[in-house]
Structure 1
Amino acid sequence: MYRSALALMLVAALTGCSPKYDWRDYRSKDAPYSILFPGKPASQTRSVTLATLPLEMTMTAVEIDGVVFAVGSARLPDGADAMHALQAMQSALLKNIGATLRSNKDSSTGLQAMLEFEADGSQQGQPARLIGKLVARDQRIYQVIILGRAQNLAAEQIDTYLSSFKLN
């Protein structure tokens, strides 16, 4: 009886620990970056216009329980203003979900421009939170975002995802 109860508790404990987030290292084939995604991502490239700049943007994303983890990357034309492109990218992201900024920080260094922000808006009629890191280095821009309902966003997953983004 004791062994059966112990075995049952062990099975229950192990099934309770099955990870919702299956973190895996992703290295882009299109741009020099790597990141940890919480599942197997899919990629798509499409033409976009960003502040009158025509770009080919590759989006790589995965959705876990209604939370989207995505990285977008594009090459800027020669002479394009990187910070202006990041600001236009942020404006487009905010507009897409009718968001207002909760926080906005310019974390630029000598080598790269970077904006970090949080915003609240709505997606498919539901309240949504957008957390983003926008980076420009050399002639490339990147958007690293998490989008989902605020109650579905765990600080540990946010930190793991955003801090894992590395430019090669």
Structure 2
Amino acid sequence: MQKTLRFLSLLCCALMLAACSPKFDWRMVRGDPVPFEVLLPAKPASMARPVDLGAARVEMTMTAAEVDGVTFAVGAATLPDAAGAPAALAAMKDGLVRNINGSIKREAGDASQAGQAGAAPLEIEAAGTPAPNGPELLLLARFFARDARVYQVLVLGPPQKVVRTEADTFFSSFKPG
């Protein structure tokens, strides 16, 4: 009887610990070389590559984490001139939607106002299927500019797996440098 009680106690403790193990393990991440701060739901990975943003070819750094098939990512780049920010943000938006072979379902904000004091970020919600017969993906994205720095902040995954409250936590934590 005592062995059974001990086993049940250990089993209950193990189940309680498993229940406390969060799927989203939020951590503060700082961008480098383009500064920003954001909460990511898992250990991130970063990579950089050259991209064309409007008329400028720049090095873009992507910092991303994935949880349950949903990607949370920040893309950041420094433009040669802050005047190129509206075109760069439009190129970022168009590129993301094109990458999922998607269409924009909702859009708010104005890329031409980006970077101006008090301007709201450009926001989109898009859906698409990147590969023939592939699964549909939901893209939630916000685009920011600060001086010559531009940022794309996004959540991408199957619609049934994108948890809006987790996406809101991610988006609201972003602070451009």
Same fold (TM over 0.5): yes
Q: What whole-Å deviation, never above 9, does each CA across 1:129-149 have from its counterpart, x for those lacking one?
A: 000010011000000011100
- The alpha-carbon deviation at position 105 of structure 1 amounts to 0.6
**Cα distance, 1:126 vs. partner?**
1.0
* Amino-acid identity (%): 43
Higher mean displacement: 106-115 or 127-136: 106-115
Structure 2: runs of 5 or more not aligned: none
Where do 1:61-140 residues align within 5 Å?
Answer: 61-78=64-81, 80-106=83-109, 110-112=117-119, 114-124=121-131, 125-140=134-149
Q: Deviations over 1:102-129 (max 9, x none)?
A: 1101075525562011100124411000
Partners of 2:167 and 2:45 in 1: CA distance:
19
Distance 1:133 1:78 in 2: 21
The aligned counterpart of 2:57 is: 54
Where 2:121 maps in the other structure, the secondary structure is strand
Aligned to 1:19: 22
Which amino acid in structure 1 is aligned with residue 126 of structure 2? A
CA contact (8 A) 2:82 2:149 kept: no
Distance of 2:81 and 2:38 partners within structure 1:
26
RMSD (CA atoms): 2.1
Q: Distance in 2 between matches of 1:81 and 1:123?
A: 29
In structure 1, C-alpha distance between the alignment counterparts of 2:32 and 2:54, rounded to whole Å:
26
Superposition misfits of 4+ residues, deviation over 6 angstroms: none
* Post-superposition offset of 1:14: 3.0
Q: Hey, which of these two has a bigger chunk of strand by percent?
A: 1
Which amino acid letter does the alignment assign opposite residue 164 of structure 2? A
- Amino acid in structure 2 at the alignment position of 1:118: E
Shift of 1:91: 0.6
Structure 1 residues 65-98: Cα deviation after superposition (integer angstroms, max 9, x where no partner): 2111110101111253312221111011101111
State the alpha-carbon separation in 2 of the partners of residues 45 and 111 from structure 1: 29
Gaps of 5+ in 1: none
